[in-house]
Amino acid sequence: MPAKTQAKDKDVFKKMNKKWWLVLAAIFFVVILAGAGLVFWFEAAYSQKFYPGVKIGQLNAGGLAKAQVLEKLKNIEKIVQQNGLKFTAQDKEIIINPITISSADPDLARPILSFDWPKTIDQALAFGRDGSWYGNLIQQAKLLAFGQTVPVSYVLDRNEILATLQDNFSKFEKPPVNARLKIKNGKAEVLGEQSGYVFDYQKAADNLAANIESLNFPPINLGLEFKEPEIKKENTGSALNSLDKILAINSLKLKTGEKSWELIKAEYINWLEFQPIDNEVAIGFTKEKVLQFLQPIADEIRIEAKDAKFSMADGKVTEFQASQDGKELNLESSYQKINNQIIMGSADEIELAVDLTPAKLTTENINNLGIKELLGRGTSNFAGSPKNRRINIAVGAASLNGIIIKPGEEFSLLKALGPVDGAHGYKQELVIKGNRTVPEYGGGLCQIGTTTFRVALRSGLPITSRQNHSYRVVYYEPAGMDATIYDPAPDLKFINDTPGNILFTTKISGDTLTFEFYGTTDGRKIEISPDPPSIFNISSPGAPRYIESDDLKPGEKRQLEKPHKGANTYFKYTVTYFSGEVKEQEFRSHYIPWPEVWLVGKAATSTDSTVPAESPVAPPVAN
């Protein structure tokens, strides 16, 4: 081929090659524009919605707005509240209400299951949005391809679930029995073990947790499971070899300080039992029997720790209670000491374990505490409260009167109140657990919690822990300004960030509870906006609920709860310090709608007469 022709062909090829590159570049540019446009459209379309593929439990949230998902979740919660949590075993079904019901005091109506929908929704909405633009793009692609299930944020009182299941189903069990030691006329006999069958309550609670996470609530069946005993007769031989040494001990001397007590063989010989120790079998004391023996000793040596308490008079602090260090027998440690010694066959004197608790505030320098003026005042009204509730409020208020809160201290109301039991003057009220009515302490203490919350707010103190009630209660209006407490949680906590000590004083006048904080003002200003809190999303309590009970005669009815409307509340708490620093806290409260609740005897009919609750709770203030 002539050279001239070859050159011409090369020019043509170069021009064609250049044209193809231009075409490819144009296509690439169009694809980039189309992709960018698609991404822009996708982001615009879902700017206020959940991305496709996002699920909350079994609920598909993709393409829905935040308000739509919240409404669906609240409907699920409402169904759970209406139907309860169902468990079955041996042809018996029980329904555990998501809230423990109190027949006389709403303070004891605490949630067994509660959902945090705002947190759940925020987590779901964050998928594909909480990273870099490239990371978000990858996450969105994964959502489209594989989807993502967001965990439900909730709180479940597993201990209450387990206790209720055991109360209702334990009668169907036959727990295994270990090999037992019987001593008669100085001779030992080993009684053989017995196999048994029990329910796996922990597994039932795990299944409930799985149901909650999937937002699906079918009945949970508990099946009996065969269980072998821990200690079998064939494994007790080595333990019996130590029995002679144990029986040679005629008495054990227990002491603490200058006090002593004697435990004689005639009393403890029937306490001996086989115990599993480090994969072997030993002979020790039955724990329950030892603790029963130690309880009167514990009562005898107990001294409650008391901080110095003061009251205000003529602008000065005057003493009315001296400080006192505390002393308490440690029952668990003392049992271990006694049991270890009997296992070794030793008759040595046993020093019981005693815990010492120094008073946090002594009576020294009482006029140098910096308590000069009123910092804030909180009030609440408990009109209509029954007798026991009034007693509990008075006991709780008296235990707080005169307490000193040190600068920088985080105050815990539960810790300050101390034990809530009959020994400290508290009275019981009835609550419904499963389908049983049982007495429980603690009624009236949320009046204490609510009033403390209010005085801490009015004093401008930072709140570190506060939980509103499950539903609105007339004792705590205006709604949104309440605080529920129950040992061990929830608690009410705040910090004394003032320059001096704070004196906590309490008083009751008629139906009004008043708490005041005295200390040293530092020029801070407090604003609560709006005051009272705004109330919105008010909802109907719904249809009445009926709970069958073995505690009532067939056909008998008793009203447990008045209806309560659901609502949400909000207020902003702003503290402006003298330095110009500003601290803000937002308090949002959600109150579930709660229908009127009736306890009914089995086989009740619509013609049965009704028996009103002894002290029905008044309905909340209408809005």
Report pLDDT digits (tens) over 280-295: 999 999 999 999 999 9
Predicted pLDDT at 605: 44
Alpha carbon distance 142, 128 (integer Å): 9
pLDDT at 314 over 80: no
Q: Is 70 exceeded by the pLDDT of residue 343? A: yes
Residue 201 has pLDDT above 90, yes or no: yes
Answering whether pTM is above 0.85, one says no
pLDDT at 20: 64
Mean pLDDT across the stretch 576-588?
Answer: 96
Q: Say if residues 330 and 355 touch (Cβ distance below 8 Å).
A: yes
> In terms of DSSP bridges, do strands 597-601 and 545-549 run parallel, antiparallel, or are they unpaired?
parallel
Name the residue among 498, 529, 526, 524 with its Cα closest to residue 580: 524
pLDDT at 607 over 70: no
pLDDT score recorded for residue 615? 35
Largest Cα–Cα distance in the chain? Answer: 131
pLDDT of residue 621: 31
Q: Is residue 38 scored above 60 in pLDDT?
A: no
Binned at pLDDT 50, 70 and 90, residue 613 comes out as: very low
What integer is the mean pLDDT of 247-260? 92
Predicted local confidence at residue 606, as pLDDT: 43
Strand ranges, E, within 11-161: 54-56, 59-60, 85-89, 92-96, 101-102, 113-115, 148-150, 154-156
pLDDT reading at 22 higher than 70: no
pLDDT band at 325; cut points 50, 70, 90: confident
Tell me, what's the pLDDT at 471? Answer: 86
pLDDT of the residue at 461: 98
Give the pLDDT score at 622: 30
pLDDT score for 608: 41
DSSP state of 371: -
Question: How far is Cα 18 from Cα 11, in angstroms, rounded to an integer?
Answer: 11
Peptide bond into 439 cis (omega under 30): no
Compute the average pLDDT of residues 370-392. Answer: 92
pLDDT at 116 over 70: yes
Arithmetic mean of pLDDT, 391-396: 97
Q: How many CB atoms lie within 10 A of CB 569?
A: 23
Q: Which of 267, 288, 286 shows the shortest CA–CA distance to 275?
A: 286
- Looking at residue 516, what is its pLDDT? 95
Higher pLDDT, 245 or 304: 245
Six token digits for residue 292? 């029963």
* Range scoring the smallest mean pLDDT among 109-118, 280-289, 452-461: 109-118
Identity at 96, one-letter amino acid code: I
Maximum mean pLDDT: which of 204-208, 565-569, 604-608: 204-208
Residue 610 has pLDDT above 60, yes or no: no
- Look at 320 and 156; give whichever has higher pLDDT: 156
- For residue 78, pLDDT beyond 50: yes
- 143-169 average pLDDT score: 90
Residue 239 has pLDDT above 50, yes or no: yes
pLDDT exceeds cutoff 70 at 5: no
Q: Mean pLDDT score of the chain, rounded to an integer?
A: 86
Among 119-128, 462-471, 475-484, the range scoring the smallest mean pLDDT is: 119-128
Q: Which of 71-85, 170-184, 217-231, 392-406 has the lowest mean pLDDT?
A: 71-85
pLDDT at residue 189, rounded to an integer: 92
Instruction: Give me the pLDDT at residue 140, please.
Output: 76
pLDDT higher than 80, residue 611: no
Contacts of 384 (CB under 8 A, 6+ apart): 474, 475, 618
Q: Which of 582, 410, 576, 579 is nearest to 496 (CA)?
A: 410
pLDDT level of residue 2 (50, 70, 90 thresholds): low
Average pLDDT of the segment spanning 496-505: 94
Buried b (16+ CB within 10 A) or exposed e, 492-522: bbbbbbbebbbbbbbeeeeeebbbbbbbbbe
At residue 340, the pLDDT reads: 94
Could you give the CA distance from residue 571 to residue 585 in angstroms, rounded to a whole number?
Answer: 9
More confident residue, 79 or 10: 79
Query: In the predicted model, what is the mean pLDDT of residues 599-618?
Result: 49
The CATH code of domain 239-355 reads 3.10.20.800
Is the pLDDT at 66 greater than 50, yes or no?
yes
Please give the pLDDT value at position 604.
Answer: 44
Q: What is the mean pLDDT of residues 138-159?
A: 87
CA-CA distance, 136 to 126, in Å (whole number)? Answer: 10
pLDDT at 531: 95
User: How high is the pLDDT of residue 612?
Assistant: 38
Structure-block tokens of residue 602: 């089995």
Query: Has residue 572 got a pLDDT over 60?
Result: yes
pLDDT for position 44:
64
Rounded Cα gap, residues 506 and 77, in angstroms: 39
Q: What percent of the chain has pLDDT over 90?
A: 55
For the residues 254-260, what does the mean pLDDT come to? 92
